[in-house]
Amino acid sequence: MTAYDALFQHAFTRVDPERAHHAAFRAIRSAGPALAARGTRVRREAEPVLAMGLTFAGPLGLAAGFDKNAQGVDALAALGFGHVEIGTVTGEPQPGNDRPRLFRLPADRAIVNRMGFNNDGAEVVARRLAARAARRAPGDHPVVLGVNIGKTKVVPEDGAVADYEKSAGLLAPFADYLVVNVSSPNTPGLRDLQAVERLEPLLAAVRRRADEATDGEGRRVPLLVKIAPDLSDDDVLAVADLALALRLDGVVATNTTIRRDGLASPSADVEACGAGGLSGAPLTTRSEEVLRLLRGRVGPDLCLVGVGGIGDAAQARARLEAGATLLQAYTGFVYGGPWWPARVQRALSETPTREATR
């Protein structure tokens, strides 16, 4: 047991998970300047990945959900992440669901959340990213920044496309890549957008708006879609076919699950968490299955981001061998501690699994 494991078990688990998250994030942001040199060194030691026309310092990045409002991108990068995906950001600001809305299942190294896309909204986040860009010194090579966008809860279904377009237009100029999130279980009706007949016009509209927003920059912002592990195999393959047909740049697989089978935690603890998305170790098998399905369908070139149930370097390596171009983690980071990303990144660089050229 590491010192962090002991601290997590005996101290953090006694604090409300959302309060603990905010306290830990404040500490990371405060320590960011002191960690900057260390983060640069870790990223230089990692195995670089060329994907979507971008150079990632290493395959492991931070999944959306930790930094919803772009408040600590560079501090998080200093811990060793090769990319940081912020969000989910919605067109309009919203408080999210009522508390409590974040729960731990330590016996499963899992988290249940029903946060509900709580965020400051696309306009505020865009201003924050503009300020970050203005602070950048000439010659800086900042971490690759992904921006994950979703639907505002109060926007009706027939306004969903316009809501995504608003976020894309405001945020694309500051994003190294964009992710359309249609797979969170915590916004009513959102997962219905994964149906191909609804997903196709949504992705096409976001693509057009992102291109318009960056027209004067001479660059094309890569666009990906994030899908749920609860899709049937046939639906996963349908999304793969759509990604190829629309010439998307990639797929993020996978989001959280609404399933609760096979957990080690007592049933009373699971029931106490209530509804929401389950993340962490229980997702490992299904997330890897979805990734293999996608890779088998799309061929070797499309960027696939493997996320869900990656808790250590061995699982990270297995996901790369299953066909992932890049990796992301959230729950593994929470349970592993602040030095976890650097450890995993370093281990992957010591035993590279393949030429990273997607």
SS3 of residue 171 by DSSP: helix
Task: Determine if residue 166 is labeled as part of a ligand binding site.
Answer: no
184 is catalytic: yes
Distance (Å) of CA 223 to CA 54, 62, 198, 220, 337? 13, 17, 17, 9, 30
Task: Determine if residue 331 is labeled as part of a ligand binding site.
Answer: yes
Active-site residue, from 30, 167, 183, 184: 184
Q: Can you tell me the distance from the alpha carbon of 281 to that of 99, in angstroms, rounded to the nearest whole number? A: 24
Task: Determine if residue 119 is labeled as part of a ligand binding site.
Answer: no
Task: Determine if residue 153 is labeled as part of a ligand binding site.
Answer: no
Task: Determine if residue 1 is labeled as part of a ligand binding site.
Answer: no
Task: Determine if residue 330 is labeled as part of a ligand binding site.
Answer: yes
Task: Determine if residue 335 is labeled as part of a ligand binding site.
Answer: no
Q: Can you tell me the distance from the alpha carbon of 59 to that of 47, in angstroms, rounded to the nearest whole number? A: 7
Task: Determine if residue 186 is labeled as part of a ligand binding site.
Answer: yes
Q: Can you tell me the distance from the alpha carbon of 234 to that of 240, in angstroms, rounded to the nearest whole number? A: 10
Q: Can you tell me the distance from the alpha carbon of 89 to that of 167, in angstroms, rounded to the nearest whole number? A: 7
Structure tokens at 275: 């509804």
207 φ, ψ to 5°?
-60, -45
Beta carbons of 224 and 199 less than 8 angstroms apart: no
Q: Can you tell me the distance from the alpha carbon of 196 to that of 198, in angstroms, rounded to the nearest whole number? A: 5
Q: Can you tell me the distance from the alpha carbon of 276 to that of 186, in angstroms, rounded to the nearest whole number? A: 6
Task: Determine if residue 72 is labeled as part of a ligand binding site.
Answer: no
CA–chain centroid gap for 218, Å, is 26
Q: Can you tell me the distance from the alpha carbon of 305 to that of 316, in angstroms, rounded to the nearest whole number? A: 11
Task: Determine if residue 256 is labeled as part of a ligand binding site.
Answer: yes
Task: Determine if residue 66 is labeled as part of a ligand binding site.
Answer: yes
Task: Determine if residue 118 is labeled as part of a ligand binding site.
Answer: no
Task: Determine if residue 280 is labeled as part of a ligand binding site.
Answer: yes
Beta carbons of 184 and 226 less than 8 angstroms apart: no
Task: Determine if residue 114 is labeled as part of a ligand binding site.
Answer: yes
Distance (Å) of CA 51 to CA 63, 108, 164, 174, 358? 17, 33, 24, 18, 5
Task: Determine if residue 255 is labeled as part of a ligand binding site.
Answer: yes
**Selection from 47, 81, 93, 89 nearest residue 64 by Cα:** 89
Query: Which residues sit in the known binding site for FMN?
Result: 64-68, 88, 148, 181, 226, 254, 280, 309, 330-331
Query: Which residues sit in the known binding site?
Result: 64-68, 88, 113-117, 148, 181, 186, 226, 254-256, 280, 309, 330-331
Catalytic residues: 184
Query: Which residues sit in the known binding site for substrate?
Result: 68, 113-117, 181, 186, 255-256
